[in-house]
Amino acid sequence: MRYAVMCFVLALAALAARSAIAGCQGNVGEEFLQENDGDDRLVRTESSPEWLEAVGRMVSVTNASQADQGEEKKHELCSVSLLSDTIGKDGQIVVGAGHCVDQWAAGEFRPSPYVDDYKNTHAGEHYDRDDMYFSNVEPHHTSITFTSSGGQKVERQLAQIFSAHMAHQDYFIGRLDRPIPYSQIKPLLNSPADYSDMLDQDEFPGAFATMAGFSADSGRGENGNKMTYDVCMLAGGQQGYKMGHCYTYGGASGGATAVTVDLSKSDPETAEFWIEYIEDTLNGTFERKEYTFWVGNIVGSRCSQAKMNRTFFTESTVHTRLLDAILRDH
């Protein structure tokens, strides 16, 4: 079984993500799928935060012809986040890591229905067709399973890829074959602002970040069968990629980087401002209480940092307008 490896060489951003990963495999081996000293991840349980139900386990067959012919299947394990722009809205849009779907990227390119929205994003300022933003990516035999806080499993197929990027940034935005009722799984709300703004302690006292996914380590992750999460600090990084001081392992690629804020802890004037701003950015009525917002997807670790609590993520502002447009239409 081949897991989506977390090793990613940021210094070689111009190369395809899979090439960077392949260069690390000879060095990491099985040892990096074992827990490391200082690992402080938690395993999701019934008492864990409810928003974790929006993080799904994605399993895809890497060779569609083998599956069609009934031959031995080869699987790739990754994680995704179910997102929404509205409280109470059914979820159908997922965001994950681009290197988790690059096995389906064909050679020809075709226009995206959201090409204009993409060109208005930060990444679209330097649009390059070779970056695969609009490559023909058709997912096959890819299932995503979410588990509600009450333990109910909900499975869907990945039906469409709207945008996928495997080089300078590492993400994909996709659509499930049919929506998941809000009553079954509550999607994560797309963040109304940059992750650093949401972590501003002057604006949001006590705000904190979490990374969650299905790490395939042989310990707490149980080879990708258990969701683990780590409350940790998010730092800076190069354009698009940012660093979190979190423990993750192969299989968590594409999982959620989220920030939790409690508006009841903000002073009344600040809370009033942010409630108005969030309502202008998202849909629904917001109150002075706790909310968790999705701010990016997990990418992985540099090879040299695979044994440390260093995990990179693609921040949401890379494709904000594109994602906003897709969520609006679904």
**Model confidence at 112, in pLDDT bands (50, 70, 90)?**
low
**For the chain, which domains are there?**
10-329 (2.40.10.120)
Percent of the chain with pLDDT strictly greater than 70:
73
Beta bridge partners of 112: none
**pLDDT at res. 236:** 81
Least confident of 197-206, 242-251, 284-293, 294-303: 294-303
3-state secondary structure of 144: strand
Phi-psi region of 18 (alpha: psi -120 to 50; beta: other; left: phi over 0): alpha
**pLDDT at res. 37:** 73
**pLDDT at res. 5:** 31
Q: Residue 222 above 90 pLDDT? A: yes
Assess contact for 56 and 144: CB atoms under 8 A: yes
**Model confidence at 241, in pLDDT bands (50, 70, 90)?**
confident
* Higher per-residue pLDDT: 130 or 9: 130
* Higher per-residue pLDDT: 29 or 107: 107
Least confident of 38-47, 110-119, 287-296, 302-311: 110-119
Mean pLDDT of 243-272: 95
Q: Residue 118 above 70 pLDDT? A: no
- CA 224 distance to own-chain centroid: 16
**pLDDT at res. 305:** 58
Mean pLDDT of 180-202: 96
Give the pair of three-digit tokens for residue 154: 């909900």
**Model confidence at 46, in pLDDT bands (50, 70, 90)?**
very high
Q: Residue 322 above 50 pLDDT? A: yes
Cβ within 8 Å of residue 329, ≥6 positions away = none
* Higher per-residue pLDDT: 138 or 107: 138
Cβ within 8 Å of residue 122, ≥6 positions away = 240, 317, 318, 319, 320
- CA 24 distance to own-chain centroid: 22
Q: Residue 248 above 80 pLDDT? A: yes
* Higher per-residue pLDDT: 126 or 150: 150
Strands 188-190 and 290-300: parallel
* Higher per-residue pLDDT: 273 or 98: 273
37-51, 103-117, 316-330: range with highest mean pLDDT: 37-51
Least confident of 23-27, 129-133, 184-188: 23-27
**pLDDT at res. 115:** 64
Separation of alpha carbons 117 and 112, rounded Å: 10
**pLDDT at res. 36:** 76
**pLDDT at res. 198:** 97
Which DSSP symbol is given to 186?
P
**Model confidence at 18, in pLDDT bands (50, 70, 90)?**
very low
**pLDDT at res. 29:** 35
Mean pLDDT of 178-193: 97
pLDDT tens-digit map of 49-92: 999 999 999 998 766 555 555 554 557 899 999 999 999 999 99
Q: Residue 34 above 60 pLDDT? A: yes
**Model confidence at 30, in pLDDT bands (50, 70, 90)?**
very low
Could you tell me the pTM of the whole model? 0.84
Assess contact for 303 and 27: CB atoms under 8 A: yes
- Buried b / exposed e over 48-59, threshold 16 CB at 10 Å, is ebebbbbbbbbb
Q: Where are the beta strands (DSSP E) in the chain?
A: 42-43, 55-61, 75-84, 91-96, 105-109, 135-137, 142-147, 153-165, 171-180, 188-190, 208-213, 228-232, 241-244, 256-262, 290-300, 311-315
